[in-house]
Amino acid sequence: MSDTEIMKTPEFPSDEKMTESQVLQFKDVPDSVRKDQGTNIGHPSVSVIGESLHFKGELSAGEDLIIEGTVEGKINQGKCCLTLKPNGKIMADVNATKIFVEGTVKGDLHATVGVTVRDSGNVEGNIVSPKVAIEEGATFNGSIEMRSPTERK
């Protein structure tokens, strides 16, 4: 399957046309899911918070997370990856292994591996991570500490 092919959720018959919010581009699926699509044994799965979903509270998961909707509160992804899509909004502090921002974040980002703010991303808050990348065109207002979030001052 190439990066331009799409994955369909199993509950939709193949002859039924899907809306764009029901389609996940295969290139957006984390490698941990892509490698062993059939059995997925030993690899975390991926969850998607759709565009129409508004979650308020404390969110924690042991799997990669793609956010297309809105999350308010606190996000703890532990040893997993968080991807915020262009229409997604986070008003929360985030802890994850890797964080990719294409949407809007108001809160602090703490990553044990890295934070990437893509050109469509908008971050208002602090970033603590050993690796930080901010693409040209992105908006960032806050401070950056390039250290592991587990290190104490």
The full 3-state SS of 10-24, as one line of letters, equals CCCCCCCCCCHHHCE
Asked if the structure places residue 137 within a domain, the reply is yes
Instruction: Count CB atoms within 10 A of the CB of residue 10.
Output: 6
Asked if the structure places residue 21 within a domain, the reply is no
Does the pLDDT of residue 1 top 80, yes or no?
no
Q: What is the pLDDT of residue 64?
A: 94
pLDDT over 90, % of the chain:
60
Asked if the structure places residue 97 within a domain, the reply is yes
Regarding predicted confidence, which is higher, 35 or 137?
Answer: 137
pLDDT over 70, % of the chain:
67
Q: What is the pLDDT of residue 78?
A: 83
Q: What is the pLDDT of residue 22?
A: 44
**Nearest alpha-carbon partner for 72 in 88, 86, 92:** 92
Asked if the structure places residue 6 within a domain, the reply is no
| Strands 24-25 and 6-7, bridge-based pairing | antiparallel
Residues 6+ apart with CB under 8 A from 7: 23, 24, 26, 29
What is the rounded CA–CA span in Å between residue 29 and residue 6?
A: 10
Regarding predicted confidence, which is higher, 150 or 20?
Answer: 150
Mean pLDDT over 131-141 rounds to: 97
Asked if the structure places residue 22 within a domain, the reply is no
Q: Are 73 and 85 in contact (CB under 8 A)?
A: no
Tell me the pLDDT of the chain averaged across its residues: 80
Mean pLDDT is highest, among 21-25, 26-30, 39-43, 62-66, for 62-66
Asked if the structure places residue 35 within a domain, the reply is no
Does the pLDDT of residue 96 top 90, yes or no?
yes
Asked if the structure places residue 78 within a domain, the reply is yes
Q: What is the pLDDT of residue 153?
A: 55
- Chain centroid to Cα 46, Å, comes to 10
Does the pLDDT of residue 90 top 60, yes or no?
yes
- State how many domains the chain has: 1
Asked if the structure places residue 112 within a domain, the reply is yes
Does the pLDDT of residue 5 top 70, yes or no?
no
Angle (nearest 5°) at CA 39 between 38 and 43 = 115
Domain of 119, in residue numbers: 43-145
